[in-house]
Amino acid sequence: MQIYLPIAEVSVNAFLLLGLGGLVGILSGMFGVGGGFLITPLLFFVGIPPAVAVATSANQIVASSFSGVLAHFQRKTVDLKMGTVTLCGGLVGAALGVFAFNYLKSIGQVDLMVRLCYVLFLGIVGALMFVESLNALRKTRKAATSGRPTPTKRNKHNWVHALPFKMRFRTSGLYISVIPPLLVGLTVGVLAAVMGVGGGFIMVPAMIYILGMPTKVVIGTSLFQIIFVAAFTTMLHATTNYTVDVVLALLLLIGGVIGAQFGTQIGLRMKAEQLRVLLALLVLLVCFKLALDLLIEPHELYSLTPLEPR
Amino acid sequence: MRFLLLILLILPLSAGAETVVLGLSRDRINITANFDGSEILVFGAVKREVPISDEEPLEVIVTVAGPSTPVVVRRKDKRYGIWVNNAAVEVDAAPSFYAVATSGPLEDVLLRVEDLRHKITTTRAIRSVGAPDDIRDSSKFTDALIRVRQQNGLYQLLEGVVAFDQQTLFNTSIRLPANLTEGGYTTRIFLTRGGAVVSDYEATIFVGKVGLERWLYMLSRSQPLVYGIMSITIAVLAGWGASAAFRLLRNS
């Protein structure tokens, strides 16, 4: 069934979009990420204009994160205070990101910038996560054979603890400066706006490795702040670019929220380290595909950008 | 879904004084939620008060042009090992859709001077005033514009598809793709003899969104704040609804 998208102004198969949403939903439920880093490139692939894909993904992320955070509220695994601090940084970042996005769009480099951001961040995060989770897998195996649990090295002192403006985050059991959470929020906010992602794939490792938060509160807290950053990004794109396609978003999120519930069930049956290895591989795969597109000579060297009639 | 657009054309043709009468049974195409392209059927007749002359035969050219807008054409170059947009040329006006249908090979039915005067072929329909000084091969950019749009089905050259019966009755159909720009689509019909245009007529078909599609589009432009809030509300409700529904399913 073909459906005409009023803002994207293209006709796409509705079941294809539902399927895309569902696929990304399953993955996001499994791994606790928004899935934006997958859905935006997939939308490029089915022929949605990049600007619409980025803005609409932000809207779709609001739905999937909201669905996810409700489950975490029930389990009390959301650090509201930490979420609010990172959110403050995130909103500023999102505003900067949309500003940068519009500037790049005007000089015709937005496509390149979005792709470069993807390659760079997916590459770094994927590689780090892959190495770390393989090590963790090896450790748990060693622990299982020697019969004693490995001591966790949380709460170790690093440069983060030397900064001023300290604040107590009870849910996370942390007493750290507010500067790192603000900066993490800011960075993720910029990326959310430029790449059309929630930024979970950066937020989650940053909270674990830089802020030293316990893993069980990280996903809930990250989802909590992503809702607001993504909603803010949606508003900015809707009011400055008019590129949020609500019909496209609706189809994606119907598939997405259903997929997410199945994904959560699958995720609960798997070991955390196994999940992280899989997520790392997935991230690296997307990164590799996008890098290839930049390196190989494109089939068509020319691209068209129609302007508003004068 | 296909819309059939019927253009009834009566051309009273007499020596010297030629008048064209055009009847349109439908003058707009509606873009609805399940719009998947459309087809325009153009047909008509040549009406004469004198017998068919023994001179060269009459030929028919039909063109359909979408609204023209400026287009920036960018070319990728390899810089620092990756392919990036580099040189850009702004084409001053290019139709968003352009189809030329003829009753014979284009070089036989149309003289170059007539093409220049009436701007019939795709190359003539595009207006490109000039490129920046540092770009020498600006014609490659207009060629690329035509090539890219041809591949998307937006520019079509349909030589010999106009059926022309007994030098009197003609008909053809032109396929419009799903990714149409809104606006007025100018349909022109030329009668040529020996490559020279002997009669022409012009009519406009309006292509526009209707119903929900139009409402959403207008809302996003005129009330972006309301539109944004609506989008987010839908997202939040969907997220909440899904988790509530699955909780119920699991509990039951």
CA B220 vs. chain centroid, Å, equals 25
Q: Do B225 and A235 touch (CB under 8 A)?
A: yes
Q: Do B36 and A257 touch (CB under 8 A)?
A: no
Provide the shortest C-alpha distance from residue B166 to chain A (in Å): 40
Angle subtended by helix axes A36-45 and A272-295, to nearest 10: 40
Which of B26, B29, B71, B44 is closest to B176 using CA atoms? Answer: B29
pLDDT(B2) > 50: no
- Whether B145 and B224 map to the same domain: the answer is no
Tokens describing residue A282? 């997935």
pLDDT(A267) > 70: yes
To probe the interface with B, which of A9, A75, A262, A268 has the most B CB atoms within 10 Å?
A: A9
What pLDDT does A157 receive?
56
> Residue A114 falls within a domain, yes or no?
yes
Spell B167-178 as b/e; 16+ CB within 10 A means b.
eeebbbbbebeb
Judge whether A268 is closer than 8 Å to chain B, CB to CB.
no
CA A185 vs. chain centroid, Å, equals 12
3-state helix, strand, coil in chain B (%, to 5): 25, 45, 30
Residues 96-115, chain A, touching B (beta carbon < 8 A): 108-109, 111-112
Provide the shortest C-alpha distance from residue B126 to chain A (in Å): 13
Reported as a single tens digit per residue, the pLDDT across B167-217 is 778 888 888 888 788 888 888 888 888 888 888 888 888 888 888 888 888
Judge whether A151 is closer than 8 Å to chain B, CB to CB.
no
Mean of all residue pLDDT scores within chain B: 79
Among A44-53, A292-301, B61-70, the range with the most confident prediction by mean pLDDT is: B61-70
Mean of all residue pLDDT scores within chain A: 80
What pLDDT does A158 receive?
63
- Whether B164 and B198 map to the same domain: the answer is yes
Chain B positions in Cβ-Cβ contact with residue A306 (cut-off 8 Å): 69-72, 94, 96, 181
> Residue A304 falls within a domain, yes or no?
no
Chain A positions in Cβ-Cβ contact with residue B82 (cut-off 8 Å): 112, 116, 294-295
Judge whether A234 is closer than 8 Å to chain B, CB to CB.
yes
What pLDDT does B18 receive?
47
Reported as a single tens digit per residue, the pLDDT across A132-188 is 888 888 887 777 666 554 444 445 556 666 666 777 777 777 777 778 888 888 988
Judge whether A4 is closer than 8 Å to chain B, CB to CB.
yes
The residues pairing with B23 across neighbouring beta strands, listed in sequence order, are B8
- Whether B101 and B186 map to the same domain: the answer is yes
pLDDT(A71) > 80: no
- Whether B96 and B190 map to the same domain: the answer is yes
Which of B220, B219, B226, B238 is closest to A62 using CA atoms? Answer: B238
Q: Which position has the higher pLDDT, A179 or A273?
A: A179
Chain A positions in Cβ-Cβ contact with residue B94 (cut-off 8 Å): 306
Q: State the total domains in chain B.
A: 2
> Residue A76 falls within a domain, yes or no?
yes
Of the candidates A62, A112, A239, which has its C-beta nearest B224's C-beta? A239
Which of B207, B85, B222 is closest to A305 using CA atoms? Answer: B85
Q: Which domain, by its residues, includes B131?
A: 4-209
- Whether B175 and B227 map to the same domain: the answer is no
Q: Reduced to 3 states, what is the DSSP secondary structure of residue A3?
A: strand
Q: Do A250 and B181 touch (CB under 8 A)?
A: no
Provide the shortest C-alpha distance from residue B46 to chain A (in Å): 37
Please, which pLDDT band fits residue A289 given cuts at 50, 70 and 90?
confident
Please, which pLDDT band fits residue B244 given cuts at 50, 70 and 90?
confident
Judge whether A266 is closer than 8 Å to chain B, CB to CB.
no
What pLDDT does B52 receive?
66
Q: Which position has the higher pLDDT, A153 or A33?
A: A33
Spell A226-242 as b/e; 16+ CB within 10 A means b.
bbbbbbbbbbbbbbebb
> Residue A303 falls within a domain, yes or no?
no
Judge whether B238 is closer than 8 Å to chain A, CB to CB.
yes
pLDDT(A296) > 50: yes
Q: Do B243 and A244 touch (CB under 8 A)?
A: no
What pLDDT does A108 receive?
73
- Whether B18 and B38 map to the same domain: the answer is yes
To probe the interface with A, which of B231, B234, B237, B240 has the most A CB atoms within 10 Å?
A: B231
Residues 13-72, chain B, touching A (beta carbon < 8 A): 31-37, 67-72
- Whether B105 and B120 map to the same domain: the answer is yes
**Edge to edge, what strands does the sheet with B82-95 contain?**
A302-306, B68-79, B82-95
> Residue A308 falls within a domain, yes or no?
no
What pLDDT does B15 receive?
43
Q: Vertex A217, ends A213 and A218: CA angle to 5°?
A: 65
Angle subtended by helix axes A14-31 and A246-268, to nearest 10: 40
Q: State the total domains in chain A.
A: 1
Among A66-75, A182-191, B81-90, the range with the most confident prediction by mean pLDDT is: A182-191
Judge whether A6 is closer than 8 Å to chain B, CB to CB.
yes
Q: Do B34 and A4 touch (CB under 8 A)?
A: yes
- Whether B70 and B181 map to the same domain: the answer is yes
- Whether B124 and B195 map to the same domain: the answer is yes
Q: What percent of chain A has pLDDT over 90?
A: 1
The three-state DSSP-derived secondary structure of B109-169 is: HCCHHHHHHHCCCHHHHCECCCCCCCCCCHHHHHHHHHHHHHHCCCEEEECCCCEEECCCE
Q: Which domain, by its residues, includes A171?
A: 2-145+158-295
Q: Do A108 and B72 touch (CB under 8 A)?
A: yes
> Residue A226 falls within a domain, yes or no?
yes
Q: Do A302 and B221 touch (CB under 8 A)?
A: no
Residue of A nearest to B183 (CA): A309
Of the candidates A3, A9, A242, which has its C-beta nearest B224's C-beta? A242
> Residue A66 falls within a domain, yes or no?
yes
* Sequence-separated (6 or more) residues with CB below 8 Å from residue A270: A30
A88 half-sphere exposure, CB direction, 13 A CA radius: 11
- Whether B147 and B171 map to the same domain: the answer is yes
Please, which pLDDT band fits residue B98 given cuts at 50, 70 and 90?
very high
Helix (H) or strand (E) holding A277: helix A272-295
> Residue A78 falls within a domain, yes or no?
yes
Contact A172, A217 (CB under 8 A): yes
d(Cα A28, Cα A37) in Å, to the nearest integer? 10
pLDDT(A210) > 70: yes
Chain B positions in Cβ-Cβ contact with residue A309 (cut-off 8 Å): 67-70
- Whether B38 and B149 map to the same domain: the answer is yes
Reported as a single tens digit per residue, the pLDDT across B9-29 is 444 434 444 455 555 556 788
- Whether B245 and B203 map to the same domain: the answer is no
Provide the shortest C-alpha distance from residue B130 to chain A (in Å): 17
Residue of A nearest to B70 (CA): A307
